[in-house]
Amino acid sequence: MKILVPLKRVPDPDTKIRLKPDGTGVETDGVKFSVNPFDAIALEEALRLEEKLGEMDIVVVSIGGEASIEQLRVGLAMGAQRALLIKTGAALDSLAVAKILAAVYQREQPDFVLMGKQAIDDDANQTGQMLAALLGIGQATFVSRLELVEQRTRARCARETDAGLESITVKLPAIITADLRLNEPRYVSLPGIMKAKKKPLEELELEALGVAAVARTTVLHYEAPPSRQAGVRVPTVEALVDKLKNEAKVI
């Protein structure tokens, strides 16, 4: 069984984000990058399935420049068997990424794709859905519990909703996107790092896939959120109600 796990290079969650003075993007100098946390959860689940069901071919793929090799090495160190880098310096939106992943899917022919539900840099939460639509296969999104059933031909997935836990069974191949509570990713060990150096990492130019992946959306300007005002103490309930009514305008 083969599982394809996309990994995106994003600013580390603990890194303080700074915008460029002209608002055209994010300052990357001195910024630490890491694997998108939701993608790390997806990879962890693939590794747990392998530990439970036996040997699998887990392939991690990333789209970007040479710097993305660092994140692929992390995926290999966690336990993935192979890595694939689709090299491009172009700015891509969700649809362009989905088209590239669709071409990778056709090339690799995995049993299913297990990916994060969203990336923390843009929070778009649509690549997985677009990928399923482009491939014409089923999907299960925001999965917080995953089990392969019926001789590994179907995936039983559960996700949290306002009404409780919703459970569906999707026929494989399918696109499955991981939610935060699916698992907690393992730490990369030193032996894992050493093994990762010997694992295959293939680099492929975007043109070699034969995909015309062009972003259809353009971000015109970035703007930092307004600074939060300091809190104040009020002496009475009446003063609190007055501020909520006349200043906050919430009542």
Measure Cα distances from 54 to 59, 147, 239 in Å.
Answer: 16, 14, 65
What sections of the chain are H helices per DSSP?
Answer: 37-53, 69-78, 94-108, 127-135, 190-196, 237-246
pTM: 0.86
How much is the pLDDT for 203?
A: 94
State yes or no: pLDDT of 248 exceeds 80.
Answer: no
Q: Tokens 């993007």 map to which residue?
A: 25
State yes or no: pLDDT of 8 exceeds 90.
Answer: yes
Confidence class of residue 37 from pLDDT cuts 50, 70 and 90?
A: very high
How much is the pLDDT for 147?
A: 94
If you average pLDDT over residues 228-236, what whole number do you get? 84
If you average pLDDT over residues 52-56, what whole number do you get? 91
Domains detected in the chain = 2-217 (3.40.50.620)
| Calpha distance 150→157 (Å, rounded) | 13
Residue 169 structure tokens = 């069974």
Minimum mean pLDDT range among 43-52, 68-77, 101-110, 157-166: 157-166
How much is the pLDDT for 18?
A: 84
Confidence class of residue 25 from pLDDT cuts 50, 70 and 90?
A: confident
Contact, 101 vs 6, CB < 8 A?
Answer: yes
pLDDT tens figures, 141-161: 999 999 999 999 999 999 998
State yes or no: pLDDT of 250 exceeds 90.
Answer: no
| Calpha distance 250→153 (Å, rounded) | 52
Q: Tokens 């971000």 map to which residue?
A: 219
- CA-nearest of 73, 8, 2 to 41 is 8
If you average pLDDT over residues 151-175, what whole number do you get? 93
